[in-house]
């Protein structure tokens, strides 16, 4: 039910509202899963990725520090490793912001958790294919060779909770996703299970979409399974925002340029 007193509707872009909610409710643990994640849309509107995935994350981090949360868990994505899109870049920067807060607020724990696609979650390929089968097809796949990491909702929830428990402040924890699965194979399996003869149509990779996602960035040196057999630890460079400079960004291109400059510390010539 979404109409009880324990449910609050607010935008993470609204810093004052978020701080007010945190001040009144005083959460001990925060799981930050709010994000814009539709990759093609964000390629056209990168400023929206900046406003929600970057500034919205910073608003939550501010509120968490103000009220002294015990643990803050930022839910990230495999697209943050060697990011090629506005989505991946904005989420990589969110990881950097979370790592930075671990330094400025040593009394609390701030960790990020990075993983791939969750089967059955809203907008996942499984739900899309199920609707396409219900509608009589065809099933759309971008490329016959495209593959992705997958896990179930219970697996994702369990590992996020474990990451919150065992992670050290400043860590980005990467979940073991097993071997990547070809999207075309998922489509073929679902068609077989449906008992129907449906076509698969290949539409081509979308702008800045990778053929294969990665869990680790080329700049990272993961520590495997030290705290949990299904978790690896990496460290991303912290980033502290210059909100004055961000307030000057007035176009999608300027937003994209700023995010591209702030993927890594050595690229940034301006915060």
DSSP run (H or E) holding 145 = none
* Residue of 37, 51, 79, 210 marked catalytic: 79
- Distances from the Cα of 189 to the Cα of 117, 132, 149, 192, 232, angstroms: 17, 14, 16, 5, 31
CB 149 within 8 A of CB 177: yes
79 a catalytic residue: yes
Catalytic residue positions, numbered: 79
């Amino acid at each position: 039910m979404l109409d009880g007193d324990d449910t609050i509707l607010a935008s993470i872009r609204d810093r004052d509202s978020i701080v007010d909610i945190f001040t009144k409710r005083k959460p001990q643990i925060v799981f930050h899963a709010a994000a814009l994640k539709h990759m093609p849309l964000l390629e056209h509107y990168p400023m929206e990725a900046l406003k929600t995935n970057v500034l919205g994350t910073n608003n939550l981090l501010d509120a968490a520090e103000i009220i002294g949360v015990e643990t803050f868990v930022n839910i990230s994505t495999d697209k943050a490793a060697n990011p090629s899109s506005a989505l991946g870049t904005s989420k990589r920067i969110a990881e950097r912001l979370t790592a930075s807060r671990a330094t400025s607020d040593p009394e609390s724990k701030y960790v990020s958790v990075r993983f791939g696609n969750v089967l059955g979650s809203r907008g996942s390929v499984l739900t899309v294919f199920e609707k396409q089968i219900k509608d009589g097809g065809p099933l759309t796949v971008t490329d016959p060779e495209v593959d992705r990491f997958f896990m179930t909702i219970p697996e994702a929830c369990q590992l996020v909770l474990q990451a919150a428990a065992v992670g050290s402040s400043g860590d980005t924890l990467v979940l073991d996703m097993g071997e990547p699965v070809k999207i075309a194979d998922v489509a073929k399996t679902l068609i077989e299970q449906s008992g129907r003869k449906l076509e698969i149509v290949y539409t081509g990779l979308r702008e800045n979409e990778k053929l294969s996602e990665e869990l680790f960035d080329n700049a990272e040196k993961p520590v495997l399974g030290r705290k949990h057999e299904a978790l690896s630890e990496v460290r991303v460079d912290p980033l502290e925002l210059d909100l004055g400079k961000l307030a000057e960004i007035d176009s999608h291109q300027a937003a994209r340029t700023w995010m591209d400059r702030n993927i890594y510390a050595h690229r940034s010539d301006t915060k």
